[in-house]
């Protein structure tokens, strides 16, 4: 390894940094980092050049608007240069604030065109946009072919790898390299394709519980996006992947952004460890405070053709939803007491069965696994949130079009038939997609009071939702401990600040027929209340305990046993965030 000692050692001393991009060249990495920063190659910078509508169109993978606006940008630049009789200046040679600002815009436009909008760039523009790195440095790093470093004037050059800005409140601006997408390839992607920061990755990143932790595992790291965010709140991060190519990209991205990710803050051991292997094999016998995973969960028919051409970034090589099932069942073994695992996944729905039939079976197996590790009663708590559900035909069409393919006559029909037959063999009619959270309790008194949670939430939720999930975990732990100690009635509850109440009644009716509580933040649930529970919520101001309010309602309504029935319902409102515990949550 020839990366600088401060940076490379912060990743791992055992990783080979050569690959699709060469991260062993510390000087070239420093030059590239400086050029990217000087050009303001950021989401805001790119949007400032092409405008908000063209930038938003990228979410739908529509590049044409941005390409047209970039063409207009360069046409205006060329006219201005002709009028001034000047040639394109590099950012490094520009003098004066106005010239530097214009040179910065030109450099950002080159980078945006080259990478974001998949448009080959003239060699002279690239040289001007990367004055420190130069074409030779880009070639040494692996973004250009060696022969392109001496391209003649006017030659248009294509990159060999992608590089995009990525921002987060926790990490600021970084740049993430990955394989080129299908807009450049215009053909089926390679089976070892390494995806950049996709929507699924962002969904997971926004869902992670960001509680400070000593150790974290990113299972199936890909380009490393989850690692970058984990470094903001975890002391040590282990990243695994079956693909050596993916791990090489992760190493490059870590070292390119070493300063921003604070990789140099090492206390005698690497902050990041990269391990190659399948699922949990590389970390067998270890345990972590936090595990995150965007696994290759896509359901693919298993046959000789798909097994030989599957995409490793999305297809784990197991039939149906077995890969997600295996993870749910085995992840508890790598969780420390109190540890949390979070992953994305999908599950098959058979016939007219409820959507959660398969997740409930997986949860039962996960609970058995955790109990074997902690015989004193530590079941694995699970929380499944189904966010989407689709029929099998739409599911097949979605993933068949995920990568560009050149279909010959009848090829798409044949592929669809494979999906139809594969789903039919297991009686599958629908596929659900969502978030999975597993938690290993510290002991039997810490296990969730009502057991695992299965809920379907298809409406828009607050993003990032991670803080809301973290608060929910804390509330559930508090109610569990109170209930286990027989002190649930001693809790003091108040209505959460984001909660509103709705009452609906027929004209002229004396009492409302429907009473609803609605959350304006977090998971934005809606809860239907009984009149008794509505009475409790109206009185929950933190002055009286749960038992005192419930007892008063029982006396007023003269309904024997009401208080005993109300307490579990009140705790459920606390679990779901409609009520909060000010004595605990401040």
409 belongs to a structural domain: yes
568 belongs to a structural domain: yes
Looking at 160, 186, 221, the residue that finishes a domain is: 160
Angle between helices 97-111 and 43-50 (to 10 degrees): 90
Confidence of residue 371 (pLDDT cuts 50, 70, 90): low
Residues 370, 437 within the same domain: yes
Looking at 160, 181, 208, the residue that finishes a domain is: 160
Confidence of residue 376 (pLDDT cuts 50, 70, 90): very low
Residues 153, 98 within the same domain: yes
Residues 417, 504 within the same domain: no
pLDDT tens by residue, 162-220 = 999 999 999 999 999 999 987 776 666 677 889 999 999 999 999 999 999 999 999 99
Confidence of residue 3 (pLDDT cuts 50, 70, 90): very low
Domain holding 545, by residue range, is 482-585
Distance (Å, whole) CA 549 – CA 571: 13
181 belongs to a structural domain: no
Residues 396, 493 within the same domain: no
Res 7: pLDDT: 53
pLDDT tens by residue, 296-309 = 888 988 765 555 45
Residues 352, 222 within the same domain: yes
Indicate whether 375 pLDDT > 60.
no
Long-range contacts, stretch 164-167, CB < 8 angstroms, 24+ apart: 164/115, 164/116, 164/196, 164/197, 165/41, 165/42, 165/43, 165/45, 165/46, 166/197, 166/225, 166/228, 167/42, 167/43
535 belongs to a structural domain: yes
pLDDT tens by residue, 54-106 = 999 998 889 999 999 999 999 998 887 777 665 555 555 555 667 888 999 99
Res 374: pLDDT: 57
| SS3 assignment for 296-342 | CECCCCCCHHHHHHCCCCCECCCCCCHHHHHHHHHHHHHEEEEEEEE
Residues 241, 365 within the same domain: yes
Distance (Å, whole) CA 509 – CA 255: 68
Per-chain mean pLDDT for the chain? 88
pLDDT tens by residue, 119-150 = 999 999 999 999 999 999 999 999 999 888 88
Residues 145, 227 within the same domain: no
pLDDT tens by residue, 7-18 = 555 565 445 555
Res 194: pLDDT: 92
Query: Which residues have C-beta within 8 Å of that of residue 28, sequence separation ≥ 6?
Result: 22, 133, 137, 140, 141
441 belongs to a structural domain: yes
Residues 147, 90 within the same domain: yes
Q: Counting Cβ atoms within 10 Å, is residue 284 exposed (0-12), middle (13-18) or buried (19+)?
A: exposed
**How many of the other CB atoms lie within 10 Å of CB of 82?**
9
191 belongs to a structural domain: no
Indicate whether 224 pLDDT > 70.
yes
Residue 237's nearest CA partner among 276, 293, 169, 290 is 290
Residues 293, 429 within the same domain: yes
The helix/strand/coil state of 120 is coil
Residues 215, 152 within the same domain: no
Q: Region 427-451: what's the mean pLDDT?
A: 92
Residue 110's nearest CA partner among 86, 143, 142, 140 is 143
Res 373: pLDDT: 59
Q: Which of the two residues, 308 and 42, has the higher pLDDT score?
A: 42
182 belongs to a structural domain: no
Indicate whether 5 pLDDT > 60.
no
CATH number for the domain harbouring residue 498: 3.90.930
Looking at 409, 425, 460, the residue that finishes a domain is: 460
Residues 298, 396 within the same domain: yes
CATH number for the domain harbouring residue 203: 3.40.50.150
Res 501: pLDDT: 95
Distance (Å, whole) CA 55 – CA 402: 21
pLDDT tens by residue, 470-489 = 999 999 999 999 999 999 99
Residues 487, 444 within the same domain: no
Query: Which residues have C-beta within 8 Å of that of residue 586, sequence separation ≥ 6?
Result: none
Res 150: pLDDT: 84
Whether residue 36 contacts residue 175, with contact meaning beta carbons closer than 8 Å, is answered with yes
Res 147: pLDDT: 87
7 belongs to a structural domain: no
**Count of domains for the chain:** 3
């Amino acid at each position: 390894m020839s990366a600088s000692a401060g940076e490379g050692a912060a990743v791992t001393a055992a990783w080979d940094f050569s690959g699709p991009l060469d991260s062993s060249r510390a000087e070239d990495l420093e030059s590239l980092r400086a050029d990217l920063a000087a050009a303001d190659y950021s989401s805001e910078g790119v949007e400032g050049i092409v405008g908000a509508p063209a930038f938003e169109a990228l979410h739908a993978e529509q590049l044409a608007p941005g390409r047209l606006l970039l063409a207009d940008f360069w046409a205006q630049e060329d006219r201005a240069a002709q009028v001034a009789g000047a040639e394109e200046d590099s950012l490094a040679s520009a003098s004066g604030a106005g010239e530097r600002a214009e040179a910065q815009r030109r450099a950002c436009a080159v980078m945006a065109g080259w990478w974001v909008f998949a448009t080959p760039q003239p060699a002279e523009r690239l040289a001007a946009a990367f004055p420190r790195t130069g074409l030779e440095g880009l070639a040494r790093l692996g973004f250009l072919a060696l022969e392109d470093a001496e391209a003649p004037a006017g030659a248009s050059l294509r990159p060999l790898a992608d590089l995009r800005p990525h921002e987060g409140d926790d990490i600021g601006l970084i740049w993430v390299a990955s394989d080129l997408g299908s807009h450049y390839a215009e053909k089926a992607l390679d089976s070892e394709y390494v995806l950049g920061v996709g929507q699924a990755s962002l969904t997971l990143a926004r869902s992670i519980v960001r509680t400070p932790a000593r150790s974290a595992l990113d299972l199936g790291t890909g380009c490393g996006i989850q690692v970058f965010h984990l470094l903001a709140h975890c002391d040590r991060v282990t990243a695994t992947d079956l693909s050596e190519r993916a791990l090489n990209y992760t190493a490059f991205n870590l070292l390119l952004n070493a300063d921003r990710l604070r990789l140099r803050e090492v206390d005698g051991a690497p902050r990041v460890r990269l391990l190659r292997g399948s699922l949990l094999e590389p970390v067998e016998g270890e345990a972590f405070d936090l595990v995150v995973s965007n696994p290759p969960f896509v359901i693919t028919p298993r046959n000789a053709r798909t097994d030989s051409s599957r995409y490793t970034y999305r297809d784990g090589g197991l039939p149906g939803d077995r890969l997600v099932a295996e993870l749910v069942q085995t992840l508890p073994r790598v969780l420390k007491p109190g540890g949390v695992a979070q992953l994305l996944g999908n599950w098959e729905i058979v016939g007219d069965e409820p959507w959660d039939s398969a997740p409930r079976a997986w949860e039962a197996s996960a609970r058995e696994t955790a109990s074997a590790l902690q015989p004193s009663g530590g079941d694995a708590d699970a929380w499944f949130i189904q966010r989407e559900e689709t029929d099998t035909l739409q599911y097949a069409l979605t993933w068949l079009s995920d990568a560009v393919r050149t279909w010959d006559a009848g090829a798409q029909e044949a592929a669809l038939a494979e999906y139809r037959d594969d789903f039919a063999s297991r009686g599958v009619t629908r596929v659900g997609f969502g978030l999975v959270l597993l938690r290993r309790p510290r002991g039997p008194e810490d296990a969730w009071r009502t057991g695992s949670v299965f809920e379907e939430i298809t409406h828009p939720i607050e993003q990032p939702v991670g803080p809301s999930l973290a608060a929910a975990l804390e509330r559930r732990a508090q109610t569990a401990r109170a209930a286990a100690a027989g002190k649930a009635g001693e809790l003091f509850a108040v209505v959460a600040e984001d909660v509103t109440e709705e009452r609906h009644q027929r004209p002229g009716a004396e009492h409302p027929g429907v009473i609803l509580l609605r959350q304006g933040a977090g998971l934005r649930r809606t809860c239907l209340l009984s009149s008794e529970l509505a009475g409790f919520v109206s009185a929950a101001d933190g002055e009286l305990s749960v038992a005192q309010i419930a007892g008063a309602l029982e006396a007023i309504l003269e309904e024997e046993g009401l208080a005993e029935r109300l307490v579990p319902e009140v705790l459920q409102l606390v679990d779901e965030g409609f009520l909060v515990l000010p004595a605990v949550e401040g």
